[in-house]
């Protein structure tokens, strides 16, 4: 057989990738398109709200695009791994995330915006280990709860206790920073894992009661930091101190309301250009969408996030192994809760907690963690559903 004949008979790389049973065809294309759309919108919004004060005419957009590019690479790497093999690495990933959380409370940690949650790397880069802790925690919980006890369709009591212990340790280290918003996300991830894992209802009821007592104790014994108390005060009544604790909430509502239906156009927002809303490129990025893209544009952002959640739920529902179902379900709850809190705090229905909007807000570590989670969902989609 000549080389030319062999070349004719051998299918091209593109044709092999697009074959019916190829991994590329098994990817959830709609989810990837939605995530790509959110990243593009986020890049435009970051450019708009940082171009007037960040170094250079492009603001922080170049650094943001670099973070997104690294995140895409991480997403692709994770998507190529069999998610069932990740069970073996779950303890290591969780241990590394705990080490990162521990380093934050040492002299290596740095304080940014009142939260001692960062490790400075130099060159203007920093890492926030609590974002990676979300991935580490959901993997260890899924590993522990995926194996049911013999003869029943629920996990063993010891595994449940270990999962709760892992969550308590992670949340405890996060609260030492303190970072109430991330601790809440970790709590939601844990609750989702326990419910999806089939833990007995009385155990879940006991945990809910314990959490309620804990929340009451935090407020009763005044264990929150002053700035955290101020955020709750502003949530209850922003008009109490519109120039102080209620400033963020008040300016956020003004920015979103001023966009009306169609918005003022990209780069045309007066609130954004004037920097009336603090931290607009991170926690309050949704206000830029509301002012410059209006109701229709901000609704499009919510719809795209909804597409990611719905496709994630579909992956969880159709996955043929418990580990994949648990991982996918916890990721969906993580994204759903964080989206609700972020959007909610900008429109006044949730207190300000410092949680970024997934795939849209500026941030390196958060972007990496979000896209790693998308890679996990894609890995489950590719290898967890034999009928696709």
Q: In 121-138, which positions are buried (b, 16+ CB within 10 angstroms) versus exposed (e)?
A: eeeeebbbbbbbbbbbbb
CA distance 303 to 226: 36
Provide CB contacts within 8 A for 99, sequence distance 6+. Answer: none
Q: Which of 321, 311, 323 is nearest to 378 (CA)?
A: 311
Mean pLDDT over residues 351-378, rounded? Answer: 92
Provide CB contacts within 8 A for 222, sequence distance 6+. Answer: 229
Asked whether residue 14 is assigned to any structural domain, the reply reads no
60 and 54 Cβ atoms separated by less than 8 Å: yes
Predicted local distance difference test score (pLDDT) of residue 387:
41
**To 10 degrees, what angle do helices 180-196 and 201-220 make?**
170
Predicted local distance difference test score (pLDDT) of residue 132:
94
DSSP state of 276: -
Asked whether residue 11 is assigned to any structural domain, the reply reads no
Asked whether residue 363 is assigned to any structural domain, the reply reads yes
CA distance 357 to 204: 29
Please state the φ and ψ torsions of residue 228, each to the nearest 5 degrees.
-70, -40
Asked whether residue 314 is assigned to any structural domain, the reply reads yes
Asked whether residue 16 is assigned to any structural domain, the reply reads no
Asked whether residue 157 is assigned to any structural domain, the reply reads yes
- Other beta carbons within 10 angstroms of residue 158's beta carbon come to 10
Q: Is the pLDDT of residue 216 over 50?
A: yes
Q: Which of 341, 313, 318, 343 is nearest to 329 (CA)?
A: 313
Q: What total of structural domains would you count in the chain?
A: 1
Asked whether residue 45 is assigned to any structural domain, the reply reads yes
The model's confidence at residue 250, banded by pLDDT at 50, 70 and 90, is confident
Number of H helices, E strands in the chain: 16, 3
- Other beta carbons within 10 angstroms of residue 338's beta carbon come to 25
Mean pLDDT over residues 196-215, rounded? Answer: 86
Please give the residue range of the domain that contains residue 357.
28-383
CA distance 49 to 42: 11
The model's confidence at residue 388, banded by pLDDT at 50, 70 and 90, is very low
The model's pTM is 0.90
Q: Is the pLDDT of residue 105 over 50?
A: yes
Percent residues over pLDDT 90 in the chain: 47
Mean pLDDT for the chain?
85
Asked whether residue 166 is assigned to any structural domain, the reply reads yes
Candidate from 6-20, 93-107, 160-174, 291-305 with smallest mean pLDDT = 6-20
Token pair recorded at residue 348: 């006044």
Predicted local distance difference test score (pLDDT) of residue 184:
92
């Amino acid at each position: 057989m000549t080389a030319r004949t062999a070349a004719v008979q051998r299918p091209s790389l593109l044709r092999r990738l697009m074959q019916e049973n190829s991994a590329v065809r098994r990817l959830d294309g709609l989810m990837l398109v939605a995530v790509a759309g959110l990243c593009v919108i986020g890049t435009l919004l970051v450019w708009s709200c940082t171009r007037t004060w960040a170094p250079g005419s492009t603001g922080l957009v170049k650094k943001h695009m670099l973070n997104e590019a690294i995140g895409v690479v991480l997403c692709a790497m994770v998507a190529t791994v069999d998610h069932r093999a990740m069970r073996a690495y779950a303890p290591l990933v969780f241990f590394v995330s705990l080490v990162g959380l521990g380093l934050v409370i040492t002299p290596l940690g740095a304080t940014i915006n009142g939260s001692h949650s960062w490790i400075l790397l130099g060159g203007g880069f920093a890492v926030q280990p609590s974002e990676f802790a979300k991935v580490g925690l959901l993997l260890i919980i899924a590993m522990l709860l995926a194996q049911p006890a013999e003869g029943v369709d629920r996990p063993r009591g010891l595994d449940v206790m270990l999962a709760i212990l892992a969550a308590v340790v992670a949340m405890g280290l996060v609260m030492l920073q303190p970072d109430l918003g991330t601790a809440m996300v970790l709590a939601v991830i844990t609750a989702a894992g326990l419910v999806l894992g089939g833990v007995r209802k009385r155990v879940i009821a006991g945990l809910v009661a314990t959490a309620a007592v804990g929340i009451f104790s935090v407020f009763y014994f005044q264990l929150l930091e002053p700035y955290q108390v101020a955020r709750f005060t502003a949530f209850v009544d922003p008009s109490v101190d519109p120039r102080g604790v209620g400033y963020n909430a008040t300016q956020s509502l003004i920015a979103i309301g001023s966009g009306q239906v169609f918005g003022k156009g990209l780069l045309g927002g007066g609130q954004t250009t004037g920097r009336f809303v603090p931290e607009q490129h991170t926690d309050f990025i949704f206000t830029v969408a509301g002012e410059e893209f209006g109701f229709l544009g901000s609704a499009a952002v919510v719809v795209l996030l909804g597409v990611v959640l719905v496709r994630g739920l579909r992956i969880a529902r159709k996955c043929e192994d418990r580990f994949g179902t648990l991982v996918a379900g916890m990721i969906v709850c993580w994204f759903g809760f964080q989206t609700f809190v972020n959007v909610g705090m900008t429109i006044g229905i949730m207190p300000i907690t410092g949680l970024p909007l997934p795939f849209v807000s500026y941030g390196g570590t958060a972007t990496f963690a979000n896209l790693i989670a998308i890679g996990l969902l894609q890995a489950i989609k590719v290898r967890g559903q034999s009928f696709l």
